Amino acid sequence: MALFRSAYRAEIVTGALVMASLVLLALPESRQDAIARAANHVVLLPLANARNTMGGYAGLRDENTRLRSELQAARLELGATEGLRLQNRDLSRMLEFREDQPVDLIPTRVIDRDFGTLPTTFVIDVGAADGVAIDQPVVTLEGLVGKIVDVGNSASEVMLFSHPEFSASAMLVGGDHLEYGVVRSTPSGEVELFLPLRSGSAPGDRIVSSGYGGTFPRGIPIGTVEHGREDQRLGLQKIDVVRPVVDLGSVGAAFVLRRGVDPGESVGDVPRLFWPGFAYPPMAGESFGRQRPDTLAADSLVADSAAAAGR
């Protein structure tokens, strides 16, 4: 027996390790996830933080100069908008509007990401100490990135919209109509919009979060319709392939959206963050570039003059 053991020791050890791997693979997904996250937090997160810190020192001087100039510009802008904010508050009170929940933007940087070909999770450098909580949306200036799924004290994990388990209630803004559906990702990372069968949609239609479901406020851009696809399962839904507005491969910085919870505030939405000048996401084909109020006024004057000349 001892001779057998020594002769086949490598095979016995390999067999035991293969069995251990198979046991790990056979665990429920939630248990696998918990083990991997625990290992990730203990071993990898400190390394990622160290790398981030070291990388950060290199460009600190440039960043400092840039941030100072941005702060100066922001102070000037704040002074200009403060008056408008007070005016808006007074007018809203006069009309007895309930205030929207304030949306705080918590700026953050991506300090780690999964290493597959298709990114499905990020680690960001803000956590519970900064007010981050599970299910809070993560966005860039372009639109939706994902949501928080795990929170540490100073770092959090983000499930990206490319993750196979990600889903969000969405709204299709067509040329002359709205449709409500659900956005999900396929295992190959393609983003799809599931709509009722009778829905009408066309390439180029905008897709934004609908505000239903409680996780994502209304109006966060998700993407545009690329083309339709046949539902190969039961044929009961209309499926559109979505071209996301955010390129996950190039995201280095983002914002966590934190909403207030004070009583008397409405659910709130965020169209104005992404669609300046609009109270609602604009229809397909409608311009949504930033237009200054004085330009708008000038345009309307020109239009009025033209109409008067025509009469």
Partner 1 sequence: MSLVSRGTPWVARMSRGRFALFAAVCVVGALFLEPLLEIAGATPDFVLILAVYGAIRAGAMGGAALGFVAGLFRDTLLLMHFGLYALGLTVIGYAVGKMRESLYLDAPAADLLLLSGGKLLLDVLVLAVAAGGAWKAFELRFFWESPGSIVYTTVVGAVLSRVIGGR
In this structure, which amino acid lies at residue 87?
Answer: Q
Contact stretch for partner 1 (CB under 8 A) within 29-37, 60-68, 171-179, 238-246: 29-37
Binding to partner 1 (CB under 8 A) within 134-153 occurs at none
24 lines the binding site for partner 1 (CB under 8 A): yes
The size of the interface with partner 1 (CB under 8 A), counted in residues, is 35
Q: HEC string of 185-232?
A: ECCCCCEEEEEECCCCCCCCCEEEECCCCCCCCECCEEEEEEEEECCC
187 binds partner 1, rule: CB under 8 A? yes
Q: Do the beta carbons of residue 103 and residue 273 sit within 8 Å?
A: yes
- Of 120 and 140, the one with the shorter C-beta distance to partner 1 is 120
Nearest approach, Cβ of residue 71 and partner 1 (Å): 31
CA 221, CA 271: separation in Å to the nearest integer?
9
Shortest distance in whole angstroms from residue 12 CB to partner 1: 9
- CA-wise closest residue to 219 among 163, 288, 128: 288
Q: Is 35 in the site for partner 1 (CB under 8 A)?
A: yes
List the one residue out of 63, 34, 38 whose CA is nearest residue 252: 63
Query: Is residue 37 near partner 1 by the rule CB under 8 A?
Result: yes
Q: Is 53 in the site for partner 1 (CB under 8 A)?
A: no
Task: Note whether 14 binds partner 1 by CB under 8 A.
Answer: yes
DSSP state of 80: H
- For the purposes of burial, counting CB atoms within 10 Å of the CB of 125, is it exposed (0-12), middle (13-18) or buried (19 or more)? buried
Residues that bind partner 1 (CB under 8 A): 9-11, 13-14, 17-18, 20-25, 27, 32-33, 35-37, 39-40, 43-44, 47-48, 51, 113-117, 120-121, 187-188
